[in-house]
Amino acid sequence: MTKEKRPVGRPTDYRPECAQQAYECCLLGADDDGLADYFEVSQKTINTWKRKHPEFLQSILDGKLKADAKVAAALYKSAIGEHVITEERIVNTPDGHAIVQVKRQAEPNVNAQRMWLHNRQPDKWRDKQVHQVDVTVIPQAKLDEIHQRNIEKQREMMKPVLGRAQRLGIASFVEVMETNENKDN
């Protein structure tokens, strides 16, 4: 007598109609997390179903692709300003009224244009501009040398002013600086 092997674990909730339901959910914008909520299973279970049931995976891919294509087409029409055909009633006819189709131009949507360009040409249309800055580090000894040279240039420039300030008996900024430097040394 042979004993039947029983499957290990809980029986699957997957049914063949799950593929069509997943397709319809994805058309409405569901992602894998939304599918898990809809089927009342974990996201891990959704991933398992995708691996074990190729038709389930394909229905998800088809639904997402079709939904994305519809949104992209609507975004494009909104960005360029679509022609809209409407029906209007005109009452001044011998029969009483006539229905006339009118073609109108919808205003282009600037936000749709921006979104389209950000995604299609991100290098040219991104909000955040990338700037590269090169920084050179100058050693302290070099900075001290530059500082000393600048002080010497200032002293040379101030000599004519100092002579005149001394003749007039006016203390100059340079004399105050020299006095302070001598106190520090």
How far is it, in rounded angstroms, from Cα 15 to Cα 17? Answer: 5
Per the structure, the complete domain to which residue 30 belongs is given by 17-80
In angstroms, what CA-CA distances link 129 with 25, 114, 115?
A: 38, 15, 16
> How many residues make up the chain in this entry?
185
Q: Which two tokens stand for residue 5?
A: 């092997």
> What φ, ψ does residue 124 adopt, rounded to 5°?
-90, -30
Percent of the chain with pLDDT over 70: 84
Residue 60 lies in a domain: yes
Query: By CB neighbour count within 10 A (0-12 exposed, 13-18 middle, 19+ buried), where does 169 fall?
Result: exposed
Q: For 128-182, how does the pLDDT look when each residue is reduced to its tens digit (9 = 90+)?
A: 767 788 888 889 999 999 999 998 888 888 777 777 777 777 765 556 656 656 6
pTM above 0.85, yes or no: no
- Verify that 146 and 94 share a domain, yes or no: no
Number of compact structural domains in the chain:
3
- Which among 68, 76, 58 has a CA at the least distance from the CA of 30? 68
- Verify that 76 and 87 share a domain, yes or no: no
In angstroms, what CA-CA distances link 91 with 98, 174, 183?
A: 6, 96, 103
Residues 6+ apart with CB under 8 A from 153: none
Residues 6+ apart with CB under 8 A from 19: 53, 55, 56, 58, 59
- Verify that 113 and 64 share a domain, yes or no: no
Residue 11 lies in a domain: no
Residue 135 lies in a domain: no
Residue 37 lies in a domain: yes
- Verify that 22 and 68 share a domain, yes or no: yes
- Verify that 72 and 88 share a domain, yes or no: no
- Verify that 22 and 75 share a domain, yes or no: yes
- Verify that 108 and 157 share a domain, yes or no: no
- Verify that 25 and 47 share a domain, yes or no: yes
- Verify that 29 and 52 share a domain, yes or no: yes
At 72, the amino acid letter reads A
Taking 70 as the pLDDT cut, the residues of the chain under it are: 1-3, 7, 85, 87, 89-91, 129, 171-185
Residue 50 lies in a domain: yes
- Verify that 44 and 73 share a domain, yes or no: yes
